[in-house]
Amino acid sequence: MRSLKPDGIMINGTPNITASAYASPQSQVQHINLKSTQTLRELMDRYFQNVFMFGMNDEVLHTGYGAMCHYLWAVGAGVRPEGSRA
């Protein structure tokens, strides 16, 4: 987080852990640190004052039910000062 300015924005994405059962063997080998909507939000909340969650299926980005998404996106804005991190 030291590389972001206080008003910086971070966009982070990961395959959804709930969709891992449907992933190809190659995808399962390459993606080793999957998150759920909840765990990705918790991680981002530690470092950002505002977190916006999105899901993605095929080429559609949405704010629908996270457990049914194949891919998750999180946008973090407002870097938390180091002393205030949870």
Three-class DSSP category at 38? helix
Q: Does residue 28 surpass a pLDDT of 80?
A: no
Would you say 72 and 55 are in contact if contact means Cβ atoms under 8 Å apart? yes
Of 31, 8, 6, nearest to 20 by C-alpha is: 31
pLDDT in tens, 3-19: 889 899 999 999 889 88
pLDDT in tens, 34-61: 999 999 999 999 999 999 999 998 888 8
pTM of the prediction? 0.83
**Domain range list for the chain:** 9-81
Q: Where are the alpha helices (DSSP H) in the chain?
A: 25-30, 37-47
